[in-house]
A and B are shown apart, each in its own frame.
Chain A
Amino acid sequence: MTRAFLALLAVTALPVQAHHSFAAEFDANKPARIVGKITKIEWTNPHSYFYLDVTDSKGNVTNWACETGNPGALSRRGWKRGDIKLGDKLIVDGYLAKDGSHFIDARRVTLPDGRTVYGGSPGDGGPGDKPTGEKPTGEKPVGK
């Protein structure tokens, strides 16, 4: 009986991973690109968010939430908090939320100065994620 309790403890202690995994929210089979103007920036832990007003071909504007890694991870990739500001145009390549909302995991972000940064959360297991120390894939510049 005691062993069962110890086993229970061991099992509950196991799932110590990166903050929520890619698969918890997003669908790797739904890649998408959105282009829009920044309306809000949340440079926050454990994930950062920014919001884009995206205008479709009919002129309808939809506000999209984009999720990226935490400020430390983005900063180490060269994306500093001052690099984007409200009104800037961003190109976001990523994967849509499973629930169909206007929510995208931004794996690759083209900044206003033309640089392309990997936006994924470290260790989330999503497309392009690599073990610690390896350079993430998907960091090639986006074709113009």
Chain B
Amino acid sequence: MSPLLRICEWLHELPLSTSIRESENAYSVIETVHVLGITAVLGTISVVDVRLLGGVLTQAPVARIARPLIRLTWCGFIVMFVSGALLFAAQAATLYSNAAFRIKLLLLALLALNVVAFHSTVFKSVEAWGSSPHSPARARFAAFVSLFLWSGVIASGRAIAYLNRH
């Protein structure tokens, strides 16, 4: 048996996981909190992405939009991550082999790479280009990749429930 599956089974059987899995209300409450976290993350990120693509707030400098929003993004991320971890733990042993869940994790990993790549390169010189309504091609590419991958995360996340065989 793969070590990863053994870890998932161990998580699945933890008292906390079991109590969420067998709860009358907690599971659906955590699901709702998870969606609220996603809303905060994707809501703020998409404003910045669409600004980079020249769609909204083109008169405002990119950094003026991105810097205050990033705090809200991180708050949403923490809510999304903690609630997501609890939902995963509650069903870890079945989610291990769920194709939609695997795709979702892969897309999230690619998103993390995209964030690191964007912030360590073109965003460093944002003061130089951020006031223009037209962003450099690399910034627009990062914005497109972000919106595309996030759409995939939402779609694959929804698909988990449809592929999960008990």
Q: Which residues of A contact B (CB under 8 A)?
A: 1-3, 5-6, 8-9, 12-13, 15-16, 19-20, 24, 42-47, 49, 65, 67, 70-72, 75, 81
Contact = CB atoms under 8 A, between A and B. Distances in A.
B23 A45 contact: yes
A19 B162 CA distance: 7
Contact of A72 (B25, B90, B147): B25
A15 B160 CA distance: 13
26 contacts: A2-B55, A3-B55, A5-B55, A5-B147, A6-B55, A8-B147, A8-B148, A9-B46, A9-B150, A12-B152, A12-B154, A15-B158, A16-B35, A20-B162, A24-B162, A44-B21, A45-B22, A45-B90, A49-B166, A65-B166, A67-B166, A70-B24, A72-B23, A72-B24, A72-B25, A75-B24
Consensus secondary structure, chain B interface: helix
Nearest to B147: A5
Contacts of B155: 12
Contacts of A12: 151-152, 154-155
B28 A72 contact: yes
Interface string B22-43: 1111011000000100000010
Contacts of B154: 12-13
A45 B50 contact: no
A70 B166 contact: no
Nearest to A75: B24
B106 interface: no
A12 B159 CA distance: 11
Interface string B132-144: 0000000000001
The 8 lowest CB-CB distance pairs between A and B, nearest first, are A2-B55, A45-B27, A72-B24, A12-B151, A19-B161, A12-B154, A44-B21, A20-B162
Given A9-B46, A45-B28, 10 more contacts: A1-B53, A2-B54, A5-B53, A5-B144, A16-B35, A44-B22, A45-B20, A46-B161, A47-B166, A49-B166
A81 to B, nearest CB: 8
A16 B90 CA distance: 20
A84 B37 CA distance: 37
Contacts of B42: 9
Contact of B161 (A2, A20, A67, A71): A20
Nearest to A80: B24
A82 B33 CA distance: 29
Interface in B47-67: 49-50, 53-56
Contact of B151 (A1, A9, A15, A24): A9
Contact of A71 (B24, B90, B151): B24
A45 B147 contact: no
For B148, B155, B166, the residue with the greatest tally of chain A CB atoms inside 10 Å of its CB is B166
Contacts of B164: 20
Given A9-B147, A13-B154, A43 B162 contact: no
